[in-house]
Every structure is written in structure tokens, then in C-alpha cells.
A and B are shown apart, each in its own frame.
Chain A
Amino acid sequence: MKRLFAVTLGILTAIGGFVDIGDLVTNALVGARFGMRMAWVVVLGVIGICLYAEMSGRVVAVSGRPVFDLIRERLGRRTGLFALIASFLVTLLTLIAEVGGVALALELASGVNYLLWMPLAAFAVWLVIWRVKFSRLEQVFGLLGLLLVVFAVALWKLGPDWDSLMQQATNPGPTGHETWATYAYYGIALFGAAMTPYEVFFFSSGGVEEKWERQDLITARSNVFVGFPLGGLLSLAIAGCAAVLYLPAGIQVETLGQVILPAAVALGKLGLAIVLLGVFAATFGAALETSLSCGYTIAQYFGWQWGKFVRPRQASRFHVVIIICLILSILVLMTAVDPVKVTEYSVVFAAMALPLTYLPILIIANDPDYMDDQKNGRVLNFFALVYLGLLLLASIAAIPLMILTRAGR
């Protein structure tokens, strides 16, 4: 019974935790521009993150080592350092976007400018990391993030022509004034948003924080195989709302307000209140995850003590890194750079850094010295390799497409 509860809780947390500012913005943006014609990318991304998150969860449960330990070990000091810099910068960029997202959600709720909320948001993130237990932090924000289910209700309430949505979903390709280049560019962005590297850093380090062992594999797998796909459905609902409301009206999503507006249009003030709370929880939760991930990657590369399973003074460098990252994100946002734009770039850069993160996971998940009887099977390896190819393709194509489309214009 207790086990069942833990599994359910894990799944719910995974659903709520799956969606972050990158998913919110990118899905709404893509829904408004292409309708459901890019739904297949979300499906592709969710399958990919499931494959690799399961591998990293299994590695943690069997060997007790989180992902970045392995990246350094298998890639060596030099290539590992390169991977560290790339992953760290992408995670930091994502953190900046998440803190901006929290501030924007607060601005929408209160009408007070987000620049005033932002230092407060960053401070609150730090305070929670400093004081609150890992499992509690995960549960509270994961469960609150579940409120984003309101997008699914809103989509249903908007009473769309389901046939035409299905029609769009089964006919991939650009429409109207869009070109194949912008279609491909946003495809990569959406893929990057679904497979963001910090998700596996956080997932695997979280496994160590919660002291996973072999018997916890069930929890890890159910989180991944049930929680993530349901989180992916939330993403599709967000895109669906934008497709129904914005695509015919010619509205392009450029602000967080436009992301949440469909919930208000469909469900009124109650819907608006729920979606605001959901967005706040999702971005705040993701801000916690990304700032922890900044600390995890650096500490795990250098072998420093890390984690919330020890008191802050025992993992002092880890906490210093987190504090510095939060200060950096305040400074960057202070320049009044648009957090939504930061988000759009962060998901594309995430797509570029993907192969470096996922290759070492695949290598270790096949290593009998680590995995004993739990190493990858042939079918899994086949799909993992297909994805590795896709990741490489996305990573190589990202910059040329960014130049060619002038970042998706």
C-alpha cells in the first residue's frame, strides 16, 4: 500500500514536473503558428526523454552514480570539461528563463512589473533550496504543477473541431506564410524543450538524493513511463489551445500572457486563477530543478560533495555555485531582456547540447561492470541509437537554421 502510494505520488510529481517555461512557451508558440502539425515532435521528444531518463534512472539505482559523474568518467577530463561547459551554460540559460517565468506569472497576477518580482522570485528559490527537504520540494511543486491540467479542460471547453485537429496532426508540414525552414527550426526547438538536458541531470541526481536502490527501479520506471507521457499530453493540450484560439485569428505567441489566455477564455476567472497558480508552480519548480542542476553538474564533474541529503555546510561549494547562478540570473534579467525570448533561445541551445549529455548515458547503460544483469537490451539499444542519430542531426542543424530563419521569424 505504501509502495503504491509512493509510485502514484511519483507519477503525479513527474507529470507536474515535466512542463516548464520552455514547454509552455514553445508549445503555445508552435500551436499558434502551425496548429497541431508539430504534435509528432512532442511525441518523438517524449519517447526520447523516456528512453534516456529510464537508462539514467537504472544506472543510478544499480550503481549509485548520477549522470555527470559518468560523463566525466567516460569522456575524460578534457572532453568532459567541454560537455560540462555546454550543459552548464544551457542549464543556466534555462534557469534564467524559469526565474523570468516565475516573475512574469506574478506580474500577470498582480499587475506589478516583473522586474520588481524577479529578485524576490530568485531569493525564494534559494530559500527553498536552503531550507526545504528534497522530497518535499519535489512533491509540492510537482503536485501544484498538475494544475496545468486546466489546459486540457480548457481545450475541451473551447469545443474545437477535433477532426480538423486530427487532420493537422496527421499532416505535418508548414502552412500559410510559414516555410519549411521555420518549421524545422521550431521542430528542433520543441524537441529541445521536451528533451532538455537538465531533466536527466535532475532525475538522476534526485535518484541519489532519495537513495534509490534496485528495488526502487519500479518507482523510477513508473515515473518515466507513465509520468512523462502524461506530461507530454499536457504539452499537447497547451499547443491545442493555441491552435484552436490563435491559429485562425493570426495571433503569434510572444508573451506568457498569451500562453495562459486560452484558459481564461474557456473557463473564466476560475480557469485564469488555476492556470496562473499552475504556471507559477511549474516555473518555480523548474527554477528549483535547474538551479540544483547547475550545482549538480559542476560538483559532480569535480567530485565535490553535493546534494540536499547533507547539511548545507557539508556541501558548501555546491551551495555557493547555486547562489552564484541565482545572482547571475538576476543580473541577466535586470538588463530587461525578454524572458520569453530567453526561453526560445534556451530550448534551441538545449537541442545543441543533447548528444554530449546522452551519449555517455548510453555507453554506461551498456557497461556490464556497472550494470551487471541490468544493462540495456538489444531493442532498447536500437531505439537509443536511432535517437542518438536524431539528436546529432538536431544539434548540427540548429545553428544553420537559426541563421537561415533569423531565429524563427
Chain B
Amino acid sequence: MAADGRVLHAQLHLLDRQLIHERTGGLLGKVDDVELDLDADVPVLTALISQHELIPAGQIVAIDSAIKILPGELNLTKGDDWAEQHVVDKIPGAGDATE
């Protein structure tokens, strides 16, 4: 493994990138910030931040043209849920597939 691991530039490859649910492919927001632990013996990336939620590095599954994550307990779709409850669900046909 040693020195031939994958190379990423934190700002270029992580910041402002799309977050995707690893299983469903649902869109979960953008990476607003990146948490780095610079005081550890080996300084590492510890988490991504999106909409004030901390996504631990362990939940990152793949980093590609989008970042696939396992959201687990995190709630990254609060806004969508609100709009769904208060507006969209009140309109007939909100749950139907289009024809």
C-alpha cells in the first residue's frame, strides 16, 4: 500500500461535490466543508460536512464524479422532507410514476 495510494486534492475533488446515497442513488446535497484532523500523529481526513451534518470518513464509500456515502442515521434530506409534507404530498399524484 505505502506510497502508491490514491491522490486527491481536498478542494478540487471533494469540496462542492455531489453526495449520493450508495444504495438508492438519491441525491443528498453538496460537500460544504471538509474536516481534517491535523493534530493526530498521522493527520487524516475525518469527515465531510453537508448542511451542518458531519459525515464520518468511514461512511464514504466511493469518491468519483460524485461522492457515494452511506448516510446511516444522518438526516440530509430535511428540506426535501419538509417540502414533501407541506406542499407536494397535498397535490394528487405526488407518489405516482409519470406515464
Whether the complex brings A and B within 8 Å at their CB atoms is answered: yes
In the assembled complex, the CB of A18 is this many whole angstroms from the nearest CB of chain B, namely 24
Distance in angstroms between the alpha carbons of A279 and B83 in the assembled complex: 35
Q: Contacts A65-B65, A131-B98, A303-B18; is A314 near B26 (CB within 8 Å)? A: yes
CA distance A134 to B30 in the complex (A): 25
Contact A316:B83 (CB < 8 A) given known A303-B30, A306-B27: yes
Chain A 307-346, CB within 8 Å of chain B: the 1/0 string? 0101111111101100100000000000000000000000
Distance, CA A63 to CA B95, complexed state (A): 29
CA distance A63 to B79 in the complex (A): 27
B66 and A313 contacting across the interface, CB-CB below 8 Å: no
Q: Does A72 contact B (CB under 8 A)?
A: yes
Q: Which of A133, A323, A369, A370 has the most CB of B within 10 A?
A: A369
CB <8 Å contact, A311 and B29 = no
Q: Chain B's nearest CB lies how many Å from the CB of A204?
A: 13
Which residue of chain B has its CB nearest to the CB of A71?
Answer: B16
State whether A311 touches B94 (Cβ < 8 A).
yes
Q: Does A210 sit within 8 A of B, measured CB to CB?
A: no
Q: Quick check: is B55 within 8 A (CB to CB) of the other chain? A: no
Min C-beta distance of B11 to chain A, whole Å = 9
Q: Does A171 belong to the interface (CB within 8 Å)?
A: no
- Number of A interface residues in the complex (CB < 8 A): 35
A313-B94 contact, Cβ under 8 Å, with A69-B18, A320-B87 = yes
Inter-chain contact A302/B29, CB cutoff 8 Å: yes
**Closest chain A CB from B32 CB (angstroms):** 8
Q: Is A80 an interface residue (CB 8 A)?
A: yes
Given A63-B65, A132-B99, A313-B94: A304 and B29 interface contact (C-beta under 8 Å): yes
**Any B CB within 8 A of the CB of A64:** yes
Q: Are B93 and A131 in contact (CB under 8 A)?
A: yes
A305 in the interface, Cβ–Cβ < 8 Å? yes
With known contacts A131-B99, A316-B83, A369-B13, A65–B66 Cβ distance under 8 A: yes
The reply to whether A316 and B27 contact each other, CB–CB distance below 8 Å, is no
Is A316 a contact of B30 with CB atoms below 8 Å? no
B75 contacts A by Cβ under 8 Å: no
B94-A312 in contact (CB<8A): yes
Interface flag for B48 (CB, 8 Å): no
Sampled A-B contacts (16; CB under 8 Å): A65-B65, A69-B66, A72-B30, A130-B93, A131-B96, A303-B27, A303-B50, A305-B27, A311-B97, A311-B98, A312-B91, A313-B89, A313-B95, A317-B80, A323-B87, A369-B13
A interface residue numbers (CB < 8 A to B): 63-65, 69, 72-73, 76-77, 80, 130-134, 136, 299, 302-306, 308, 310-317, 319-320, 323, 369-370
Q: A130-B98, A133-B99, A315-B80 are in contact. List 13 more A-B contacts (CB 8 A).
A: A132-B99, A136-B99, A302-B30, A303-B19, A303-B50, A312-B93, A313-B84, A313-B94, A313-B95, A316-B94, A317-B79, A319-B88, A320-B88
